[in-house]
A and B are shown apart, each in its own frame.
Chain A
């Protein structure tokens, strides 16, 4: 069964450093998302991406964050200058091609980001 994959599974970085989290969405999906989950808190939406552009972003997704689909398979989240409060699990998700909000989103296993 197709699944969303993410790398790395765990990333440790120093405050102020740039990190890139990588995702390979399900191959026939057209909508891609990033969510994050701070330890002990709810899963929070960061950004959605369609047709090579951001379709929606949350207030969390400030100028330090960017997303890119550099090729036909990868979807990346870049944090330019990490802060301690960026430490969280980051989940990538993808959904199908109908564009309706009823499309089910499938999640990857997550990347645990630890900022020291």
Chain B
């Protein structure tokens, strides 16, 4: 069974603080995707990382794929209330099936 462990499960911070969300596995993934999901809606893609060690930036969000392609992180700089939401990581291995983490609920207080 392929598992993606996501941590922390819940994060509550003040506006302007930095934070990091982690996604770890004992399995190697061909790619890893980060999504954001609002209540009652579908996951919306933030980024896909493919190469071990890859770093991608999306404004204040920085995504990193581990060298061994078993882990990934999402770092948010100077968090804003608009960043509040559920963040999901999902890894692809054999075939195209995605394995999802349990998600990190982020709350940014103003």
On chain A, the residues within 8 Å of B98 by CB distance are 33, 35, 43, 45, 93, 105
0/1 string, A29-42, CB within 8 A of B gives 1: 00101010000001
| Cross-interface CB contact of A56 among B33, B88, B97, cutoff 8 Å | B97
Stretch at the interface among B17-25, B72-80, B99-107: B99-107
Given A102-B50, A108-B42, A110-B42; A42-B97 close (CB under 8 Å): no
Asked if B93 CB lies within 8 Å of chain A CBs, one says yes
On chain B, the residues within 8 Å of A45 by CB distance are 97-99
Interface size class of A (residues with CB under 8 A): 20 to 34
Q: Is the CB of B45 within 8 A of A48?
A: no
Q: Is the CB of A101 within 8 A of B42?
A: no
Separation of A58 and B99 alpha carbons in the complex (Å): 11
Separation of A116 and B52 alpha carbons in the complex (Å): 47
Residues of B within 8 A of A (CB): 30-31, 33, 35, 40-45, 48, 50, 88, 90, 92-103
Residues of A within 8 A of B (CB): 4, 6, 31, 33, 35, 42-45, 48, 55-56, 58, 89, 91, 93, 95, 100-110, 112
The 10 closest A-B pairs by CB, nearest first: A101-B30, A107-B42, A101-B92, A43-B100, A102-B31, A104-B48, A56-B95, A45-B97, A109-B42, A110-B42
